[in-house]
Amino acid sequence: MIAGILYAYDHLLEGIDDTGIILAKKRPQNKIAILSGGGSGHEPADSGYVGKGMLDGCICGPIFEPPTVEEIVLAIQKSDQGLGVLLIVKNFEKDVAVFSQAQAIAQAQGHQVAQVLVNDDCSIDSASFKKRRRGVAATVLVQKILGAASYDITDLNKLKALGDQLVYNSNTLGVALSPASFIDSKREGFSLAQDEIYFGIGIHGEPGYRKEIFHSSERLAIELVNKLKNQFHFKQNEKYALMINGLGATPLLELFVFTHDVSRLLQLEGIDVCFKKVGNFMTSNDMAGLSLSLLKIEDEQWLKYLEADCECYGW
Amino acid sequence: MIAGILYAYDHLLEGIDDTGIILAKKRPQNKIAILSGGGSGHEPADSGYVGKGMLDGCICGPIFEPPTVEEIVLAIQKSDQGLGVLLIVKNFEKDVAVFSQAQAIAQAQGHQVAQVLVNDDCSIDSASFKKRRRGVAATVLVQKILGAASYDITDLNKLKALGDQLVYNSNTLGVALSPASFIDSKREGFSLAQDEIYFGIGIHGEPGYRKEIFHSSERLAIELVNKLKNQFHFKQNEKYALMINGLGATPLLELFVFTHDVSRLLQLEGIDVCFKKVGNFMTSNDMAGLSLSLLKIEDEQWLKYLEADCECYGW
């Protein structure tokens, strides 16, 4: 896969042999380097967001498994321009473990390294339910804003603080119509009957909070928008960025039907959707389904960063 | 679906109520208007190619069914700036019928209208086999080049002649891993066993030329590259544009694995792949599978047109 990506985008990207590291070919000097990564199987995440204006690099692990600590350390060494490195990490136990270990090693070597942990998945209904809020599709919005901001903000603590604020203002909810395929057959996914859907699933096939029979795109939109409304407590005229993300095997046609249903509900809430993105951004291999993300825009500058040009194949 | 597209891309696109017409919001004056269209279910084709630098508009029919003659005539009327309209039509019997009727009606009304018929599908093995070469993924490459060229070429006959030359230099071959879904249950698709693949299928589920058991991406690449080689009679140092197109339900990860396999075979042939595009460009609803297109670059200007900036959500 990585060889194919590097062939297709040889004008944008370069790899490091025998690793899952993909770096932007043109890495501007005098900025904080932004790295992200995690398991593969989520394409175009994260390689599709490497390039001028977004990430300086990413580290790809095997399908649904994080990269090694050594690879992350090497990516930090290669990308640090002297102003430090910000790691954007999706909140999964294994990902947090390897990125945190790599951070500690690189810091011991003298690199300034900070971490933004994205946990936008708001499917966890009950506090007693021992699951963490996972990092899913809104990660891409966080990557875009921090990527653009890294051309302005040269203080690593400030850039991390912006990232934390973005995460605090992000929520995502997903629904599956079919499970993902696993290469590793030992791994357990969920199963669904032909007409069943599953709310709140994770991007590695983690189980959700409720199965039901599929009725219509509109009913899906009502469930997901209501759940997000409960997170945000929508107020009239608040500004939001919207991402409707296909999980890999859902036709764009269906995403647009759902987009229309969502738009009508958000209009009723009186909120201002000032930025929209519809497509496959953070997939779950060949899972059929979608996720709905909202990011509350608390600062007009965030919108400018979302709209800024970038040279990335997946944005 | 159209309402969702117009909502998501309200800065780029506008519709005409109660029709399947989608027009670029900014339509430059003093150029030939380029229109395309056909059945829906192929998203991002064709709405994803409407915008500055590519198509001036498209006319979307129901899923896998062409739009009406009246809608095409209306789109011609709305988009003609006085220099005429070029229709880019995929070579399917029903599409050709409605676009040709609309062309005749608009011409009788005083519009200059020409048609480029794209028939890049080279899956038809035998001349005695009563099927036509269909218009599939290379249509998008033809749309891109003609769209960019329409800012330079103001003579409709010359632009059509360029289009015909592009079509002559285009070949595509597809393979399905699963059939597409049909909304219209009367319509017959093909069926495939779990481990079977089907070479030469069409984007509406038209049958292919051979079923076999799936072995590997590399074996797929050998079959498709060899078939394209027979069409083009590759010569060393010839230049080609490459498109690897997902049919809707194939993960990008798998497209990149295939891309790598194709790249090695093309390298052995000694041809120069000077332009590459990998992703979902001309889908077949939720069909799993892919197609491989090559366009022989006979004029350096074609490459410049491919590389030119455009404001389209699907390119």
Split chain B (315 residues) into runs of 10 and give each run's mean pLDDT. Answer: 98 97 93 97 97 98 96 98 97 96 98 97 65 89 98 98 98 91 69 90 86 94 96 95 96 97 97 97 93 98 97 96
Q: Which residues contact A310 (CB under 8 A, 6 or more apart)?
A: A51, A52, A53, A54, A144, A147, A148
* Residues from chain B contacting residue A283 (CB–CB below 8 Å): 251-252
* Residues from chain A contacting residue B5 (CB–CB below 8 Å): 256, 259
CA separation for the pair B18, B25 (Å, rounded): 18
CA separation for the pair B214, B138 (Å, rounded): 25
Q: Are B62 and B171 in contact (CB under 8 A)?
A: no
pLDDT at A190: 84
CA separation for the pair A227, A109 (Å, rounded): 44
Contact A4 B276 (CB under 8 A): no
As beta bridge partners, residue B155 has: none
pLDDT at A126: 54
> In a 3-state reduction of DSSP, which class is residue A256?
helix
pLDDT at A131: 61
Of A5, A277, A279, the CB nearest to B256: A5
CA separation for the pair B63, B225 (Å, rounded): 30
Whether B250 has its CB under 8 Å from any CB of chain A: the answer is yes
Whether A258 has its CB under 8 Å from any CB of chain B: the answer is yes
Whether A218 has its CB under 8 Å from any CB of chain B: the answer is no
DSSP A182-201: -SSTTS------TTEEEET-
What's the complex ipTM? 0.95
The pairing of beta strand B57-63 with beta strand B21-24 = antiparallel
pLDDT at A128: 42
Q: Quick: pLDDT tens for B282-308.
A: 999 889 999 999 999 999 999 999 999
CA-CA-CA-CA torsion sign (B94, B201, B36, A275)? positive
Contact B286 A43 (CB under 8 A): no
Shortest distance between the Cα of B43 and any Cα of chain A, in A, equals 6
Q: Are B264 and B217 in contact (CB under 8 A)?
A: no
User: Please, is B255 exposed, middle or buried when counting C-beta atoms within 10 Å of its C-beta (0-12, 13-18, 19+)?
Assistant: buried
**Numbers of helices and strands, H then E, in chain A:** 8, 12
pLDDT at A110: 98
Per-position pLDDT tens, chain A of length 315: 999 999 999 999 999 999 999 999 988 889 999 999 999 999 999 999 999 999 999 999 999 999 999 999 999 999 999 999 999 999 999 999 999 999 999 999 999 999 999 999 998 755 544 567 899 999 999 999 999 999 999 999 999 999 999 999 999 999 999 888 776 656 667 888 889 999 998 888 888 889 999 999 999 999 999 999 999 999 999 999 999 999 999 999 999 999 999 999 999 999 999 999 999 999 998 899 999 999 999 999 999 999 999 999 999
Angle made by CA atoms B55, B60, B65, in degrees to the nearest 5: 135
Residues of A with a catalytic annotation lie at 42, 204
Residues of B with a catalytic annotation lie at 42, 204
For B27, other C-beta atoms within 10 Å of its C-beta total: 17
Shortest distance between the Cα of A33 and any Cα of chain B, in A, equals 26
Q: Are A5 and A22 in contact (CB under 8 A)?
A: yes
pLDDT at B187: 67
Contact B4 A278 (CB under 8 A): yes
Half-sphere exposure (Cβ direction) of A39: Cα atoms closer than 13 Å: 22
Shortest distance between the Cα of A314 and any Cα of chain B, in A, equals 10
CA separation for the pair B294, B300 (Å, rounded): 16
For B186, other C-beta atoms within 10 Å of its C-beta total: 5
Closest-CA residue of A relative to B314 is: A279
